[in-house]
Structure 1
Amino acid sequence: MSNLSIFFVFCFFSTLSHAIEFNFCVGDPSLPRGSQGYACKDPAKVTTDYFVYTGFRGEKTPNNVFGNNVTLAFSNVFPTFNGLGISLARLDFAVGGVIPIHSHCTSEILNLVKGSIIAGFIDTNNIAYYNRLEVGDVMVFPQAMLHFQINVGKSPATAYVSLNGANPTLQLTPTSLFAENLPADIA
């Protein structure tokens, strides 16, 4: 067997052993979060319960000035997402409720399961892409685009979103523009 063949066999088996060693990395939020997420819990101490999230159960009452309630399932509350590059959120809207213009450093997929909303985003050429969504509709918001959702129906609305990051950032545009800490002489 040539040295090159031995090298490829070694690479193949080392790749397999790496995959077997890291099937999952349930994060330990009690430890500091690093650039790659949380440190992994000992797999021997992980049970099936770590792979089930129950935080979306039941009715959620919109509870803020925007008429919404956002329930997050990011890696800090659902540690199984640690290292997987995904997260979820549940959006509940009162009649007329809104998720104001905001952005994430990730892409987002929204699936409407109750009600009727208008959802949209604005690209870097200032072109608005929006549509009225009905139950079962899905809309994609590309990474870093300003986007929004508004309940335009006559009843409450609910949507689920998935983001391609275990702990995506969120920047609300209104608060970024009007509640920043810039001195008054420059703002």
Structure 2
Amino acid sequence: SLSFSISFLFYIHGFSISTLAVLALAFAQALAYDPSPLQDFCVADLNSPIFINGFVCKNPNLVTAQDFFASGLNIAGNTQNKVGFNVTLVNVQRLPGLNTLGVSIARLDYAPNGLNPLHTHPRATEILTVIRGTLLVGFVTSSPNNTLFQRVLRPGDVFVFPIGLIHFQLNVGRGPAVAISGFNSQNPGLIVIADAVFGSNPPIPVQVLEKSFQVGQNVIQELQAQFK
């Protein structure tokens, strides 16, 4: 196995057992996305003052079935906004029992012509299933190719967005659309590209954005004004 081969190679070069243990821990951390459970469950104690990568475990004697339960994905989200889109996310903050389990789920609602704008999830791959309507979805690969993979989806169709890649969904049907997304993280994170670039606090210097997008200062300032 990989771990045996690494251990053997370091052993024959005179590395100590303690050194191997540290390296094994480093490899484990590098290969894992969310913390792995070492017991049946680790319900998040959302009120703990201790700050760690994830959440402190709640005392198992105080855990109830409610810690593993959430509701509301049957309720349509409010899409009366500039992009005509709403996400109802069930992550570890809403369902503490997800802590260390590496999964979460979301309901996505789209008004006619509604758009889930260009965004990324820094900590998760997303798998989307269309429940109602017709969506044009796609993602862009990393540089240097920046290839766009896109597809029109209908009810029952499934599409996957690899971790960290910029992607979108656009309602191209005649009525509202609904989809369900799963993530391989208890807290997938969200970076909306336009919000991050033009709405950062404090703002990214105009000169940086001018050179990055190869447009004039007036264009950049107009775009920044949309996200204040």
Q: TM-score range by the shorter chain?
A: 0.7 to 0.9
Higher relative contact order (CA 8 A, sep 6+): 1
The 1:130/1:32 distance shift into structure 2, 3 A limit, reads farther
* Equivalence for 2:28: none
| Structure 2 counterpart of 1:133 | 153
Deviates most, 137-146 or 36-45: 36-45
Match of 1:186 in 2: 208
Aligned equivalents of 1:142, 1:153: Cα separation in 2: 25
| CA shift in 2, pair 1:33/1:128, >3 Å | farther
Distance 2:37 2:130 in 1: 37
User: 1:82 and 1:32, CA in 2 relative to 1: closer, same or farther beyond 3 A?
Assistant: farther
Q: Tell me how many residue pairs correspond in the alignment.
A: 169
The structure with more helix, counted as a fraction of residues: 2
1:12 match: none
Q: TM-score, length-normalised on structure 2?
A: 0.69
Structure 1: distance between partners of 2:119 and 2:50: 24
CA distance in 2 between counterparts of 1:185 and 1:60 reads 38
Post-superposition CA distance 1:102-144 (Å, at most 9, x none):
0112211001111110111000121110100000111000111
Amino acid at match of 1:24: F
- Relative to structure 1, is the Cα distance of residues 20 and 57 closer, same or farther in structure 2, using a 3 angstrom cutoff? closer
- Cα distance change, pair 23–156 in 1 and its aligned pair in 2 (3 A): same
1:168 is paired with a residue whose SS is coil
8 Å CA contact 2:37–2:101 kept in 1: the answer is no
Structure 1 residue runs of 5 or longer lacking an equivalent are 1-18
Q: CA offset at residue 33 of structure 1? A: 6.6
Q: Secondary structure at the match of 2:97?
A: helix
Are the equivalent residues in 2 in contact too, given 1:32–1:38 (CA < 8 A)? no
Match for residue 88 of structure 2 among 56, 71, 82: 71
Q: Percent identity?
A: 37
1:37 aligns with 2:54: yes
- Provide the alpha-carbon RMSD of the alignment: 1.9
Shift in CA distance, 32/144, structure 1 to aligned 2, threshold 3 Å: farther
